[in-house]
Amino acid sequence: MLAGGVVGFSLGPALVPSLILSGLRVQNKETSKSLSYWRRVSLGMLGGLVGGITAIAVFSPAQSAWCQAESARGSYCDGDGPMLLFALTIPLGAVVASSIAVLWTWFSFLIPADRLYASVFTYRGDRRGLNVGIALAVQAVYWSIFAVALYALTLRELLH
């Protein structure tokens, strides 16, 4: 039930930037490869879905830290946490992650196809494994920074 709600709630806000930003022409001039419009929208929506899931994943630790801070002040945790999750954190995470996913796809297509850090869709060098490894490392670093930033934002909003 929660997974279906997350998918629906994340894909709605993720669809808007995906549709708007996917109008950017994405083509690598060296390979003449381009991504179809719907593939760009799909990649943006996938980024938005992961952004929504990340928002839910960081919410529980942020709420726990908030409850500890409230307890130290002699207060208690009220029921406003879930409202913050569904009103701010999930839509914001979905929109930002979707926008960055589309922009990163567009930017990575501008990198020459023989570079190791080129898009996995256009790379034409001999070290394909290293190219995929770099792509995965970039994504891991990005999502780690995104999760920490979303945690800090959620905690800040809970504390105010």
Q: Where are the domains positioned within the chain?
A: 2-159
**CA-CA-CA-CA torsion sign (43, 45, 49, 50):** positive
What residues contact 114, with CB distance under 8 A and at least 6 apart?
30, 124, 125
Nearest to 150 by CA among 79, 77, 95: 95
pLDDT in tens, the chain (160 residues): 555 555 565 566 666 666 666 666 666 566 556 667 777 778 888 888 888 888 888 888 888 887 787 778 777 776 666 676 677 788 888 888 888 888 888 888 788 888 888 877 778 888 888 988 988 898 899 999 999 998 888 877 766 6
pLDDT for the residue 156 = 76
pLDDT for the residue 135 = 87
pLDDT for the residue 144 = 92
User: Which segments within 7-160 are labelled E, that is strand?
Assistant: 27-28, 33-34
CA–CA dist 33, 113 (Å, integer): 10
- C-alpha distances out from residue 123 to 24, 101, 107, 119, 142, Å: 20, 18, 14, 6, 21
Decide: 52 and 29 in contact? Cβ < 8 Å: no
The model's pTM is 0.75
pLDDT for the residue 148 = 92
